[in-house]
Structure 1
Amino acid sequence: MFAEIAVWSFAVLAVTGTVLMLLYDPGMSRVTYDGPYGPLRGLLVSEAFDSTMRLSLELRGGLLIRQMHHWAALVFVAAVVSQLLRMFLTGAFRRPRTGQWLIWVTLLALGMAAGETGNVLPDDMLSGGSLWLIMSVAQSVPVAGTWALSLLFGPDFPGDRVVPVMYGGHLLVAVVVAALLIARELLVRRHGHSRFVASLPARRRARPMMAFATIGMLVILGYGAQIAPVWLYGPAKPTQISAGSVPGWYMGFLDGALRIMPGWEFTVGGHTLSLAVLVPALVIPGIFFTALAVYPAAERFLVSRRGRRDALGRPRSAGRTAREALAYDLLDRPRETPVRTAVAVAGVTFYGLLWAAAANDQIALWFHLTVEAVTIFFRFAVVIGPLVAFVVTRWICLALRQADRHVAEHGVETGIITRSPDGGYHERLAPARQERREPTITAGR
């Protein structure tokens, strides 16, 4: 389901993006705004901002298309994250579907990159803040960062090349995402879905319904939920930034990491190494995506060291029979893999705490605290919270497995009391329902 939502969200992105591409002007030359929005009339703005205002307020249906595009981008990343979490918890990344897992990991990184490059294109006050963050992250990389920044954007930042470069990068990322989704579809046709609930014909029948549901919801959001009102933000200015501005939800964890990271700096060989920006903006995301990519191989290696077992927990020989191969194709219940499930919950906790830390100023305001106190709390919470989540989740999974074994051995309580011939009273127990059944080998499989 999450994969279908991602596919159809990208379809909406492709259609609306094509329309916007025909109407948007990425130029940075200064023009005088003379549109219908009175508070900005007469101001010098860039061609990018002027074209965004024109297609938002003057073109019939333009605002709907632009808001649908923005909402589809948010939903696409949410669907990719949900798909990755589902595959991780159920073990759907195992062979032969490791390639699909790597595609989804890449799509998450590309979705974040597309969101950041797309946010810059309107050249409004909010996108100006994103540009300064990009500049700070690039300059935190010793030697190579400054060189890459001048190569892409020229000697002056922000200059006349910023928006055109981001525009080209945005289109390039969209093409790569489309290619990866096509490759993922080919892999699904080759290897099929993991056997769990729905059969392949049922999935094919549900696909049109999921398409209509996803597209319909994006139309509703684009029509009734305002997002990115550039006329309220105003044109970008290098010396100003909108108060209370925050990035897209999928980039919130980076903003939170930047806010709570101590201001550590070192000088090495005459070069200043700013860990306050380098660690939260590059090191943490690098470790995160690397861990996601290598986890299937790492788990496969650890399982081979402990003794290979199939999805039903039985020792598995080098050559599997057809029945064992189908059994291995079944997905895991999260409780069956306590460590993996605990790792997932710990990761979600770490992400959630960083995401909440991005609002440390708002939390301090609403709860009448100091920003320093909230920041210190999150510095400890991002270390202690995941450890607590890991221990508690593993304990819950082990308790659920023990309860399942008890039910399998003694049966399910029915609440029906019967009297035995010797005069005693006993509760009637029903046989436990088998959560997993031996797969049936059919012709052609």
Structure 2
Amino acid sequence: MRALAPKRRSFRSGHWSFMFAEVAIWSFVVLVVTGLFLMVFYDPDMSPVLYQGVYTPLRGIPVSEAFDSTMRLSLEVRGGLLVRQMHHWATLVFVAAIALQLLRMFVTGAFRRPRTVQWLIWVTLLPLGMAAGETGNILPDDMLSGGSLWLIQSALLSIPVVGTSAVQLLFGPEFPGESIIPVMYWVHALVIPAAVAVLLGARERLVRRHGHSRFAASAPGRRGARPLMAGATVGVLVILGMGFQIAPIWLYGPAGPGQISAGSVPDWYMGFLDGALRIMPGWELTLGDHTLSLAVLLPALIMPGVFFTALAAYPMAERLAVGRLTRYDALGRPKTRSRMAGEWTGATVLDRPREAPVRTGVAAAGVAFYGLLWAAAANDQLAHEFQLSVEAVTIFFRFAVVIGPVIAFWVTHRLCLGLQLRERDAGEHGPESGVIVRTAQGAFHDRSEDHDRPAVTAG
């Protein structure tokens, strides 16, 4: 008769890094609630009208119905500006929480079996969150919206063979046309939220099935942590929406073909693409009668594609490289073994970053690469502030994005090895007491707490 394995119970770790998933979930809840409110007042129509609202500087200027409805929503609907700014801030926090969750899972090895599917879910959520933010930025039809549309058109045109057809299919015979905002509206309001909701629901079911991962020395977290995190996330978003202005479209003005605001930058999660486009050399490749614009194709499409593919494939690559196998004990609990370590450990126990110096170094290199590309998106502003030429700043970042990640990997790898050595010494000689003693021969050494503590006898 086959024995039934006991039901796995959900386990919550008390470590602070486990909050990122909760922040992402509750940010998405705020996005859905505020988005439903915005849908009532927003009109995804590109038909031209004359603005006659309360903002005097724009009165009598031709705008689209989409821009006009966004202005009414922001300045005339009670609470509209607060809800709109909360919606925008929630998008930024949602993408940031996903990125930090992926970083936490990567450096701690939380992507290993049986949680590889959860890793793939978070990897998929990252581009979905970025797409949700970018499609939402297009909807107001302001000056920044026009800049985003120009970037989308340029990226599509750089695709060999099918690029021109893709642009005509999306925008119509003329750019930007009158159909792009209605299309983006339904993608933003229906397709992407539905996909995100399905993925988050699948992730929650997998967590209940496999339980929470944990660190070896961590204690179970409090059961009331989820309501507390929900209140904290919503509260912070309300404060951001009330006190920090974001996307003031009345200052940007309506979109115009061939126009873009000076000093305009995308949201933080798209900064690396902007930086890559700015520092990429103007390379072109001619194949027969066709010319490929590598200056756009490589940074806008190939680089993000390689990045997300590498993220998704990393668990399999590590299993092949390290030789991790998955087995189950008598109670049905998964166990993993590393051929390099030669011992079995519970699959729910996470690695500390210092215990995987190569993987942690790779994470540091990736963060440095992204950070340098993000800084390169402000090459013109950096040149202005430091009285340098834009060409000099651009050349600096071209070298920095290659050398910087290598330095970050080396420094992080050495730090991890140093921390391991320090722990090994503490285990052999006891923790340092901070007291320096001198021997009879005149030598100095640290006195350890465990080894130099007098013995306690009973009696």
TM over 0.5: yes
- The separation in 1 between residues aligned to 2:444 and 2:252, in whole angstroms, is 75
Q: Alpha carbons of 1:334 and 1:46: their partners in 2 closer, same or farther (altered >3 Å)?
A: same
Q: Alpha carbons of 1:105 and 1:408: their partners in 2 closer, same or farther (altered >3 Å)?
A: same
For the residue of structure 2 that corresponds to 1:163, the secondary structure is: helix
Alignment partner of 1:261 is 2:291: no
**Structure-2 residue corresponding to 1:437:** none
Alignment partner of 1:339 is 2:358: yes
**Structure-2 residue corresponding to 1:436:** none
Conserved? CA contact 2:102–2:122, under 8 Å: yes
Alignment partner of 1:88 is 2:72: no
CA offsets 1:263-304 (integer angstroms, 9 cap, x no match): 011222322200000000011101110110000110011111
Could you tell me how far 1:141 is from its partner in structure 2?
A: 0.3
Conserved? CA contact 2:322–2:339, under 8 Å: no
Conserved? CA contact 1:107–1:177, under 8 Å: yes
Could you tell me how far 1:2 is from its partner in structure 2?
A: 0.3
Q: Alpha carbons of 1:93 and 1:29: their partners in 2 closer, same or farther (altered >3 Å)?
A: same
- The separation in 2 between residues aligned to 1:364 and 1:419, in whole angstroms, is 57
Could you tell me how far 1:414 is from its partner in structure 2?
A: 1.9
- The separation in 2 between residues aligned to 1:240 and 1:195, in whole angstroms, is 52
**Structure-2 residue corresponding to 1:115:** 133
Q: How does 1:18-417 map to 2 (within 5 A)?
A: 18-171=36-189, 172-196=191-215, 202-304=221-323, 310=337, 314-316=341-343, 324=344, 326=346, 328-415=347-434
CA offsets 1:53-95 (integer angstroms, 9 cap, x no match): 0010000000000000000000000000100001111111111
Conserved? CA contact 1:309–1:315, under 8 Å: no
For the residue of structure 1 that corresponds to 2:140, the secondary structure is: coil
- The separation in 2 between residues aligned to 1:40 and 1:413, in whole angstroms, is 69
Could you tell me how far 1:148 is from its partner in structure 2?
A: 1.4
Amino acid at match of 1:269: G
**Structure-2 residue corresponding to 1:16:** 34
Q: Alpha carbons of 1:176 and 1:82: their partners in 2 closer, same or farther (altered >3 Å)?
A: same
Q: Alpha carbons of 1:235 and 1:408: their partners in 2 closer, same or farther (altered >3 Å)?
A: same
Q: Alpha carbons of 1:402 and 1:31: their partners in 2 closer, same or farther (altered >3 Å)?
A: same
Q: Alpha carbons of 1:218 and 1:311: their partners in 2 closer, same or farther (altered >3 Å)?
A: farther
Could you tell me how far 1:152 is from its partner in structure 2?
A: 2.0
Conserved? CA contact 1:261–1:280, under 8 Å: yes
Conserved? CA contact 1:311–1:329, under 8 Å: no
Q: Alpha carbons of 1:425 and 1:387: their partners in 2 closer, same or farther (altered >3 Å)?
A: closer
Conserved? CA contact 1:311–1:330, under 8 Å: no
- The separation in 1 between residues aligned to 2:22 and 2:271, in whole angstroms, is 25
For the residue of structure 2 that corresponds to 1:377, the secondary structure is: helix
Q: Alpha carbons of 1:337 and 1:52: their partners in 2 closer, same or farther (altered >3 Å)?
A: same
For the residue of structure 1 that corresponds to 2:44, the secondary structure is: coil
Conserved? CA contact 2:324–2:338, under 8 Å: no
More displaced 10-residue stretch of structure 1: 307-316 or 28-37: 307-316
Could you tell me how far 1:419 is from its partner in structure 2?
A: 11
For the residue of structure 2 that corresponds to 1:204, the secondary structure is: coil
Conserved? CA contact 2:319–2:325, under 8 Å: no
Amino acid at match of 1:55: L
Conserved? CA contact 1:126–1:233, under 8 Å: yes
How many residues are matched?
423
More displaced 10-residue stretch of structure 1: 391-400 or 69-78: 391-400
For the residue of structure 2 that corresponds to 1:262, the secondary structure is: coil
- The separation in 2 between residues aligned to 1:129 and 1:232, in whole angstroms, is 15
Q: Alpha carbons of 1:41 and 1:427: their partners in 2 closer, same or farther (altered >3 Å)?
A: closer
- The separation in 1 between residues aligned to 2:97 and 2:116, in whole angstroms, is 19
- The separation in 2 between residues aligned to 1:270 and 1:40, in whole angstroms, is 47
**Structure-2 residue corresponding to 1:440:** none
Unmatched 5+ stretches in structure 2:
1-18, 327-334, 452-459
- The separation in 2 between residues aligned to 1:399 and 1:195, in whole angstroms, is 24
Identity across the alignment (%): 69
Conserved? CA contact 2:110–2:350, under 8 Å: yes
Q: TM-score, with normalisation over the residues of structure 2?
A: 0.88
- The separation in 2 between residues aligned to 1:274 and 1:418, in whole angstroms, is 69
More displaced 10-residue stretch of structure 1: 383-392 or 369-378: 383-392
Conserved? CA contact 1:26–1:163, under 8 Å: yes
For the residue of structure 2 that corresponds to 1:31, the secondary structure is: strand
- The separation in 1 between residues aligned to 2:157 and 2:447, in whole angstroms, is 72
- The separation in 1 between residues aligned to 2:420 and 2:108, in whole angstroms, is 15
For the residue of structure 2 that corresponds to 1:332, the secondary structure is: coil
Could you tell me how far 1:204 is from its partner in structure 2?
A: 2.9
CA offsets 1:237-280 (integer angstroms, 9 cap, x no match): 00211111110000000000000000011222322200000000
CA offsets 1:157-211 (integer angstroms, 9 cap, x no match): 10000101111111211111111111111111111111226655x3531111111
CA offsets 1:330-382 (integer angstroms, 9 cap, x no match): 11111111110110001111111100000000000000000000000000111
Amino acid at match of 2:155: V
